[in-house]
Amino acid sequence: MVPKGINWLQRHKLITGVLVFAYFVFIVFMHGPMVHVSNYFQGMLGFGTYNKVVLVVYCLAAIGAATLLVTQIRKYPENRAVKLAYLFGTLALISIHSRFMFDSNVEAIHSLEFTLLAVLLFALFNRFGAAIMFAVPFMLVDELYQYWVLYPDFNDYFDLNDISMDIYGCSLAMVTLMILNVKGEYPVKPLYKRVEFWGLMGMLGFFAIAFATCFIAPYEFEKCSNTFLVLNERMAIEPFWREHPISHVIYHVQKPMEAIVCFSTLIFICFGLDSLRNDKLPQPNFPQP
């Protein structure tokens, strides 16, 4: 069912492009209402109980998804070891992130909200790595909207933790499609000929230039007269652990360089997904970007 749906989207790219835009608008403008819903249930149950309920739901969903995917790997056994490595490696990153970088377990929603966008982008580009890479600009715009418009008086830092979790979720979505035997580009282009590789290089180059010219400042005390964006409003380097002012949860806030290195490395590793396929099965050819 899933492969057929993706195949339809691959063949109707104009519709898929419209869906990408519409879903992104939904993500941006539904964030506020969804936070209000979450706060309602948190107020009704109490923070401790609500946190535990979310954790149980999150764990059950993860176990169910992993069980289903392992079953699918048995059905399509080619590259089994590498598929399992990608699957459990991504789940491990999500678990570690949720353990040390959440101020509330409801933040797990970040592993889901951009997954549909990544699926739609996969249908546009026909490559797993491209879907993850080109979801990142949407994530950056979404976080910028929250930082500047939605919660300017509450957030004192640009939440790179959320972007990392978004990328882990997109990675899991692409691993899922690969395991479900969804087809993409065939034969696979060399990495240096793929637009997503140069997109990643361009993003890293942009950040390098932006930091070097002070167009983006990591902290308030490093701001210059030409600074457009300050990623953290603290007047000192962010400590390793931070205490949330309301819930008093202790969690880690990623420093800018730390976050950029982490999610760029994962994106680069995920470029390898496009080299994994069930070669014994027919591979369709789609027009490539």
Q: Which tens digits make up the pLDDT trace of 133-148?
A: 999 999 999 999 999 9
Tokens 């946190």 correspond to: 51
How far from 30 is each of 22, 113, 199, CA to CA, in Å? 12, 11, 28
Q: What is the mean predicted confidence (pLDDT) over 242-258?
A: 90
Q: Give the whole-angstrom CA distance, residue 200 versus residue 222.
A: 26
Q: 229-230 and 241-243 as β-strands: parallel, antiparallel, unpaired?
A: unpaired
278 band by pLDDT with thresholds 50, 70 and 90: very low
Of 110, 112, 132, the residue nearest 122 (C-alpha): 132
245 band by pLDDT with thresholds 50, 70 and 90: confident
Q: Give the whole-angstrom CA distance, residue 205 versus residue 102.
A: 29
Please state the length of the chain. 289
Residue 243 β-bridge partners: 250
Q: Which tens digits make up the pLDDT trace of 197-209?
A: 999 999 999 999 9
What whole-number percentage of the chain has pLDDT above 90? Answer: 55
280 band by pLDDT with thresholds 50, 70 and 90: very low
The pLDDT, as a whole number, for residue 246 is 81
The pLDDT, as a whole number, for residue 75 is 81
Q: What is the mean predicted confidence (pLDDT) over 17-43?
A: 91
